[in-house]
Amino acid sequence: MFIEIIDVIISGLINGSVYALMAVGLTLIYGVSKAFNFAYGSLYSLGGYIAFLLFSLAWINNYLLVFCLAAPILLVIGFFLEKLLVAPLRKRDDWEIKVMMITLGLALFLDNSFQVVFGARMKSLPTMLEGSFELGEFILSYQDVAIFIFSIGGILLFRWFLNNTRTGMSVRAVAQNPEGAQIVGIPKEFVFAATFAISTVMVGMGGILLAQKYFITPTGGWDILVKAWVITAFGGMGSIKGSLYAAFIVGMLEAFVGWHFGMTWTLIALFAVLLTTLAVRPQGLMGKWG
Amino acid sequence: MEHKPIALLLAGIWGIVAILPLFFGSTNFIMHILIMCLIWSVVASCWDLIMGFAGIFSFGQVAFFVIGAYSSAILSAKFGIAPIFAVFCAGGIAAALGILVGLPCLKLKGAYIALVTFAVHMILEPVLKGTIGRALGTGGSRGILTIAPMKIFGFTFSSSNPVPYFYLMLLVAIICSAIIFIVIKSKWGTAFLALKDAEDFASCLGVSSYKYKLMVFALTSFLTGMIGGFYAHYIGMLSTRMLGIDLFVTLMIILVIGGVGKFPGAIIGAFITIAFNEMLSPIGPYRPIILGAMVVMLVLILPDGIVGLVEKLFPKKQHELTH
Amino acid sequence: MKKSLTLVLILFFSLLISSLSWAGEAIKIGVPLSMTGPYTDTGDNYWKGIKMAVDEINQSGGLLDKQLEPVRFDAQEFAPERVMQGADYLCGKLKVDSIHAGWAGWGQDVRAYGKYTAPFFADDGSQASVDVYRQDKKQYNNIFQLTDTGINQGKSMFNVLMALPYEYPNKKVVIITADDAWGTEVGDTLEKNFEKQGWKVAMHELVPYGTNQWGPLLTKIRKIKPAIIHVEIVSAQEVVTFFRQFMKKPTNSILSYGYSLVPREVLETMGKEADGLIGEVPTAMPTPQAPTPEAQAWLNKFNKTWSHLPQAGSWAAYSGVKTWATAVSAIGDEKKHEEISNYIAANGYKGETGWWKWDKDHVMRAGGDVPIAHYQVQNGEMIAIFTDPPAKPYKDYKFQIPRWIKK
């Protein structure tokens, strides 16, 4: 029994780290610009497909190179998506719903374009690390460890960026008070676009990181979107720390419910916990912006 | 838009729709599409009422539709309730669930409400397929493959002869749109607008946001659930495949084309979207690509949909009418 | 406004109609398959078989001297109204003379197409479809199933598992299936059969599609140490992730994948890594060596046309078209739907491996010349090791004990 529980905790931790990486990008855009990005899942798939294309080039054979090449591509894509699709809507009163609609349209467009270009069949990427190590009764594959380290490392790096760089600080300033930030000379519009771009990079990188384990499919992003959405709301939209905690709670919850009650109950349990949390704390665990 | 043009527009739309069977009555395929247009126009109008007018980002409309459809099918099959009464009971069940979902939403905002309501959509499939659903009589993952057709005064509305059902649905759609129109016109509508534009101020003035929000949840889920019942008895079979992303996106496109908060834009949007969707169907995988691109373009170019375009094209007329 | 609206509407619907009407002497056949959404890939497999049959017939002078003209319809995700719309469009509007589908709606299709008379071929493999058919055999006389039901396929899987030349270390089995109609049908059948034989079903788990984290379930499995694990989820992502996570610390269990071995990405992704997995394909042409020279010729032709081996369903769909064409030639008029259906029900069709016969439920029951083939992955390839019913080894191919089973 004890060993089993440790085993389940390990699965929960690995899931949690994956979810954390997924949720941070979404919570960032919402926290800074109050925009909800429905195409978030499609951008996850986009990252996977970009890596797939890069790997099909003869001279690319390792993940480091793929990360270095994919990041700027994703950054540019994210930046222009915001400038072209989201920014023009911001002037309107009902821009929140319009942003949801336009990103939903974008998701439909992207997902089905993937299907036409790459086919409906799933694509796989080479594994980053082979093998696993055993600790007595427990087995951990190097792949999972790598995913764990990359996720947590990515988030910590991102926190450092927000707290210690000039751009990061202006992002925080805009998140706290857009008008105030503008008054002190922070280019609000640029910060919005930059946040969107950074979030695209984060989710796209997540797509690359996870594709080796979970593969790339044209519509695979929806699950990611829903999970990320649940976690950000649970942790408090806009709160990075909240998302981090929420991700691990959700990971653990899924692992234990799946183990004890069965996999069909995980989704129901997840939403039950979410609803209870929101009923008590409408802003989520650590949300600051209602 | 002001109220009078809405009423005129509604009369115009339904007038045109009413004569369509003269041209297409002999083609079951097109009649079937027209009936679906009528059904989706009601669902989309309800969605517009809650999202466009009341400003509540409810994403549970498809879920209430499916709940209504299943309830009506089960009520008529298990308890022998005549379909015509079963659809109203189904509306009642959907409304009760709507209030239940509405309660936690009262304190929430924006994307949170969207999530909570969408959660209903997400968990509906495992519930309907799982042990709870099977106990209720949903047939699990098989679905319900035999549902009694609608019967009124001994006349059976069967799907193989769609013209009578078309007029029945037209009547239902007219009544629903009239109800929505009356709601928008009444002090409810004013309260919604006040709450949407300045919630804090409105509640200071004594407009109870809780009461109105719950009422709009109840009303829209009642109408949506009821029309779901009509759908079930028309198609004669149900499965959880309705909960796929396809229908959700189609409804969203209807609103984009019709214009959010631009009643009766959703009705026009339904007819255009469904017809367009059918025309694009032969090109297979390119259809959703074109639809997606269209949504993006329309939101940017025509943010208020067709009705917004009309308002822009005839601003003078609008001006006169408002005075 | 009203005028322009009328214009727009008239324009839309007239376009709709004009795009649908065709001229010329051709026999139209309807092909409602999934062209978008999650079932696109299976739809593609069926289409390749249908296209091949149609091209063959057209190249050899057509049917009754008329060319066949397939009309495709996108069945999307098989929502009820979509299935009905397909029937109304193909049969009601275009008046096609036969319909060749694959997965078509698991019972919903029988109702929708049963309203019309044109012979309808589906590959539902579902008891639900048969149950609907039995409600009104006269009304649904035009419905033909190309594949046996999930119940019988489940039985067949069980028979072969019992017939394997392998001694099970214990009598415990774990069943994991998708929560769809197919998965539950197979899962329930397996459970019943295992229990009848005195086995213990230690775990019977339904999982939703999209499950890719198997940690909690594997924890339980590792404690149970079952002799057999049966996984029935027809989607590559789920079964590949399951296998890889299972292999981190395998138990001494035979991994039976049933129909889930079919999606081509399973082998494309894993190759030799998948060695040892077993699975089944109903209405299948056993590979790598076909049972008859004609069948081998067909395999080669398919391989040449599409540059890959046929997937499950391709041959069934191909044979459906051929069955219908044979019947039409015999009757001499493609419009005599009723007689054509009766002819098919009475006479069947002689295909590459032998006779196809439909039983009183209009289901092509497995067995005889078209049995269910059971495969094992060996050297990265699907090798037919058994056919069933009756369960017997296929040619000289041998079952190999999977590499993860330690003595």
Inter-chain CB proximity A112 and B299 less than 8 Å: no
Tell whether C155 and C180 lie within a shared domain: yes
CATH code at position C232:
3.40.50.2300
Tell whether C44 and C173 lie within a shared domain: no
Q: Among A72-86, A239-253, A274-288, B248-262, name the one with the lowest average pLDDT.
A: A274-288
Tell whether C162 and C275 lie within a shared domain: yes
Tell whether C265 and C314 lie within a shared domain: no
3-state DSSP assignment of residue C389: coil
What pLDDT is attached to residue B320? 45
Q: How many CB pairs under 8 A join A and C?
A: 86
How many Cα neighbours within 13 Å face the side chain of A6? 9
Tell whether C192 and C135 lie within a shared domain: no
Gap between the Cα atoms of B264 and B261, Å rounded: 9
Rg (CA), chain C: 22
Q: Which residue, among C184, C225, C265, C270, would best test binding to A if mutated, counting the most A CBs under 10 Å from its CB?
A: C265
Closest residue to C237, CB basis, from A112, A214, A262: A214
**Closest residue, chain A, to B108 (C-alpha):** A282
Gap between the Cα atoms of C257 and C232, Å rounded: 6
Contacts with C38 from chain B: Cβ below 8 Å: 244
What pLDDT is attached to residue B115? 85
Domain termination site, one of C329, C356, C383:
C356
Closest residue to A264, CB basis, from C207, C222, C263: C207
User: What integer is the mean pLDDT of B56-75?
Assistant: 94
C383, β-bridge pairs: C376
Backbone angles phi, psi at C205, to 5 degrees: -120, 130
Chain-wide mean pLDDT for chain B? 87
Nearest partner of C390 among C154, C152, C156, C149, judged by Cα: C156
Gap between the Cα atoms of A129 and A146, Å rounded: 8
Gap between the Cα atoms of C293 and B247, Å rounded: 48
**Domain span including residue C87:** 27-145+296-356
Tell me which H or E stretch contains C190.
helix C181-196
Tell whether C139 and C235 lie within a shared domain: no
Contacts with C89 from chain B: Cβ below 8 Å: 29
Inter-chain CB proximity B30 and C16 less than 8 Å: yes
B19 contacts B151 by C-beta, under 8 angstroms: no
Residue A290 — pLDDT band, cuts 50, 70, 90? very low
ipTM (interface pTM): 0.89
Q: Is the peptide bond before B149 cis (omega within 30 degrees of 0)?
A: no
What pLDDT is attached to residue C203? 94
Tell whether C247 and C384 lie within a shared domain: yes
**Domain span including residue A214:** 18-220
What pLDDT is attached to residue C9? 55
Tell whether C92 and C194 lie within a shared domain: no
Q: Which two tokens stand for residue B25?
A: 């009555």
Residue of higher predicted confidence among C343 and A238: C343
Q: Is the pLDDT of residue B208 over 80?
A: no
Q: Among A181-190, B62-71, C142-151, C245-254, name the one with the lowest average pLDDT.
A: A181-190
Q: What's the total number of domains in chain A?
A: 1
Residue C163 counted as domain residue: yes
Gap between the Cα atoms of B108 and A92, Å rounded: 22
In terms of Cβ atoms closer than 10 Å to its own Cβ (0-12, 13-18, 19+), residue C336 is middle
In terms of Cβ atoms closer than 10 Å to its own Cβ (0-12, 13-18, 19+), residue A17 is buried
Q: Where are the domains of chain B?
A: 3-243
Q: Which residue, among C21, C35, C81, would best test binding to B if mutated, counting the most B CBs under 10 Å from its CB?
A: C81
Inter-chain CB proximity A113 and B294 less than 8 Å: no
Inter-chain CB proximity A109 and B126 less than 8 Å: no
pLDDT in tens, B300-316: 988 888 888 888 887 65
Tell whether C376 and C348 lie within a shared domain: no
Tell whether C190 and C128 lie within a shared domain: no
Residue of higher predicted confidence among C14 and A41: A41
Q: What's the total number of domains in chain C?
A: 2
Give Cα separations from C13 to A55, B20, B103, C7 (angstroms).
47, 10, 43, 10
Max avg pLDDT among A25-39, A208-222, A235-249, B220-234? B220-234
Tell whether C162 and C273 lie within a shared domain: yes
Domain termination site, one of C310, C330, C356:
C356
Give Cβ neighbours of residue C93 (< 8 Å, ≥ 6 apart). B27, B28, B29, B30, C20
Residues 128-157 of B with CB under 8 A from C: 129-130, 140-143, 145-146
What pLDDT is attached to residue A46? 96
Q: Which two tokens stand for residue A73?
A: 């591509």
Rg (CA), chain B: 19
SS3 for C101-144 is: CCCCCCCHHHHHHHCCCCCEEECCCCHHHHHHHHHCCCCCCCEE
Nearest partner of B118 among C49, A65, A189, A271, judged by Cα: A271
- B244 reaches A (C-beta below 8 A): no
Q: Which residue, among B23, B70, B241, would best test binding to C if mutated, counting the most C CBs under 10 Å from its CB?
A: B241
Residue A275 counted as domain residue: no
Backbone angles phi, psi at A287, to 5 degrees: -65, 145
B239 contacts B128 by C-beta, under 8 angstroms: no
Nearest partner of A122 among C377, C35, C264, C183, judged by Cα: C264
Gap between the Cα atoms of C262 and C274, Å rounded: 12
Q: pLDDT per position in chain C (407 positions), as tens?
A: 445 555 555 555 555 555 444 445 799 999 999 988 778 888 989 999 999 999 999 999 999 999 999 999 998 888 888 998 899 899 988 999 999 999 998 889 999 999 999 999 999 989 999 999 999 999 999 999 999 999 999 999 999 999 999 999 999 999 999 988 889 999 999 999 999 999 999 999 999 888 888 988 998 999 999 999 999 998 888 999 999 999 988 999 999 999 999 888 888 889 999 999 999 998 888 888 889 999 999 999 999 999 888 888 899 999 999 999 999 999 999 999 999 999 999 999 999 999 999 999 999 999 888 999 999 999 998 999 999 888 889 988 999 999 999 87
